[in-house]
Structure 1
Amino acid sequence: MARRAVTKTYKLYVGGAFVRTESGRHDVVDGVNVPRGSRKDVRDAVKVARGAAAGWAGRTAYNRGQILYRAAEALESRAREFDGDVGEAVDALVHYAGWTDKLHAVLGGVNPVAAPFLSISTPEPTGVVAVACGGEDSLARVVSAIAAPLAAGNVVVVALPENDPLPGLDLGEVLGVSDVPGGVVNLISGRATELVPALASHRDVNAIIDLTGDAELAVQIDTFASETLKRVLRGDDGSSLARLQALTELRTAWHPVGA
């Protein structure tokens, strides 16, 4: 007698672990039960991300590049399990892996000053970055939106595409066996109208990448962001450098020289 296949149970990916949504709710996507994340899940994910931020930012740029490259290798090895544009997703990870040890040279430097001082600027991570995906976003777009902040030393909390979250949840399984530390990437499935405002209003989120293309959500994001002093990036146009620069802060130090 033929055996029945084990039905896969999808869970959120938070803190390097696969967790059930605290509400116990789910939506059905393509005949599969998908966890419907709640505002509490968002708060939990942001707390975990904040705890992981210092460790990730404290790694050398070269090491972060190695880890992103390892994530690309892990995704490539499971490419047949994904549909569509997985190759573009792998390329995005490799691309941003190459940027990690270039940022200080490109964005930082010695500043000319008309005084007996040495002035040096160096880029630092913004902190916790939220990614609000559009309902139909591809895996490649999701991965690219994650890879850019990671390359700049940030940690991320992602509201996955509402209408097609399964590739994003499967990505959690890839990250779970790569070298990405727990809490650096957190993936939540659910309804954008519930997850996105919770991310935009959270005071421990430093920036939000808005890929939703939803005018009503954009108003809510801008309103909450203005109240909590977080920067908002929209879409994924522009160069890789522009995206990286938007997710970093410049710290300038002055040092006296001479007598």
Structure 2
Amino acid sequence: MTEPGRLTVRKTYKLYIGGAFPRSESGRSYPVTSSKGDFLANAALASRKDARDAVIAARKAFPGWSGATAYNRGQILYRIAEMLEGRRAQFADEVAAADGVSARKAGELVDAAVDRLVWYAGWSDKIGAIRGSANPVAGPYLNLSTAEPVGVVAVAAPPEGPLLGLISVIAPVIVTGNTCVVVASERAPLPAVTLAEALATSDLPGGVVNLLTGRLGELAPWLASHMDVNALDLTGCPDDLALSCEQAAAENLKRVFRPSGKPDWLADPGTARLTAFLETKTVWHPIGV
């Protein structure tokens, strides 16, 4: 709250692309308001060009991130959880303003987001054991199947759960070795902006997570048709937009994850999101004399 006699500092937040915070190339922004209609800040209104830049950054980061050990990726997710814990008060204020919940409830949602990161961090070096296998074959061969990341994933963040929902869609994508371009909740983008600030000061390499703020209806179709995007998470898309994105994705054989019903972000997440953006590589090797 601004003290009497002081001017309010009206913030205009930027995008998060390739580990940096550029302005939208369009120069556009839009006002973000609380659940009561009070002005909170201005957020960048990302354009098609910003989305393309984010995909380029994600593709550039993919070889290094997918080539890192699963243990190292888990360590980095745990470090991000520590960063969120350190900024708990700020996240709680932003969640309370966005969703109109009490300070206590907002704090519980922030704690749940931290716990969700730790939970996914623990899966980093275990999901391969679930998805991988040694396959019986008839002949002098050894046949092994291993799980590998699909590549660049475009994610439509849910409009509800601006922090917990956001973490729940990003963490399983990156812990399995993918990189991502995320369109934050248009209604409540400030927790995503603050998350970007935490990511920039964590051990996460630039470009692994790229966060865009703006209109989902403007950005999602271009990401769905982008030839260098390998998969889509349509969690935050309304039905009509999700359908058009699925049709665009079918033209270039993208993998699409479209959950049914409204997700309960406080429920046990299971492994569905962990396995959604993994593909199986099978290796044959001769054995015997």
TM-score normalized with structure 2 length: 0.86
Which amino acid in 2 is paired with 1:29? Answer: V
2:124 aligns with: 100
Do the aligned residues in 2 keep the contact of 1:136 with 1:162 (CA within 8 Å)? no
Question: Which AA in structure 2 matches 1:90?
Answer: V
- Which consecutive aligned stretches of 4+ in structure 1 deviate over 6 angstroms post-superposition? none
Given candidates 149, 172, 177, the residue that maps to 2:201 is 177
Contact 1:39 1:195 in 2 (8 A): yes
SS at match of 1:255: strand
Whether contact under 8 Å (2:11, 2:42) holds in the other structure is: no
> 1:16 maps to which residue?
19
Partners of 1:49 and 1:155 within 8 A in 2: yes
Partner residue of 2:76 out of 50, 67, 91: 67
Deviation, structure 1 residue 4: 4.6
Once residues 250 and 272 of structure 2 are traced to their aligned partners in structure 1, the CA distance between those partners, rounded to angstroms, is 22
Q: Match for residue 217 of structure 2?
A: 193
1:28-67 → structure 2 map (5 Å cutoff): 28-30=31-33, 31=39, 32-67=41-76
* Counterpart Cα distance in 2 of 1:162 and 1:134: 9
Structure 1 segment 1-259 matched on structure 2, within 5 A: 4=7, 6-30=9-33, 31=39, 32-83=41-92, 84=106, 85-235=109-259, 239-259=269-289
Q: Which runs of 5+ in 2 are unaligned?
A: 34-38, 93-105
Letter in 2 for 1:158: V
- Scaled by the length of structure 1, the TM-score of the pair is 0.95
Q: Deviations over 1:109-128 (max 9, x none)?
A: 21111111000111111100
Whether the 8 Å CA contact 1:134–1:162 is kept in 2: the answer is no
One-letter amino acid of the counterpart of residue 240, structure 1:
G
Q: Higher mean Cα deviation, 174-183 or 101-110?
A: 101-110
Q: How far did 1:170 drift?
A: 1.1
**By how many angstroms is 1:28 displaced?**
0.8
Q: What is the aligned residue count?
A: 259
Shift of 1:223: 0.8
Tell me the amino acid that sits aligned with residue 140 of structure 2.
P
CA contact (8 A) 2:196 2:211 kept: yes
The separation in 2 between residues aligned to 1:163 and 1:246, in whole angstroms, is 26
Query: In the alignment, residue 128 of structure 2 is paired with which amino acid?
Result: H
Task: Name the CA distance, whole Å, in 2 between partners of 1:213 and 1:14.
Answer: 22
Displacement of 1:3 in angstroms is 5.4
> How far apart, in 2, do the equivalents of 1:41 and 1:145 lie?
21
- 2:271 partner SS: helix
Q: What amino acid is aligned across from residue 19 of structure 2 in structure 1? A: G
Residue-by-residue CA offset, 1:28-65 (whole Å, 9 max, x unaligned): 11122111001110000000000000000010000000
* 1:184-211 CA-partner distances (Å, limit 9, x unpaired): 0000000011011111111111111111
1:200–1:208 CA contact under 8 A, matched in 2: yes
Alpha-carbon distance in 2 for matches of 1:231, 1:63: 26
Identity value in percent: 53
Cα RMSD of the aligned pairs, angstroms, is 1.7
TM superposition shift of 1:87: 1.2
Q: Is the 8 A contact 2:10 2:42 kept in 1?
A: no
State how far apart, in whole Å, the 2-side matches of 1:36 and 1:189 are. Answer: 6
SS in 1 for 2:282: strand
In structure 1, C-alpha distance between the alignment counterparts of 2:251 and 2:61, rounded to whole Å? 25
- The question of whether the paired residues in 1 share the 8 Å contact of 2:66 and 2:149 is answered with yes
Letter in 2 for 1:246: A
- CA–CA separation in structure 1 for the residues paired with 2:117 and 2:154: 18
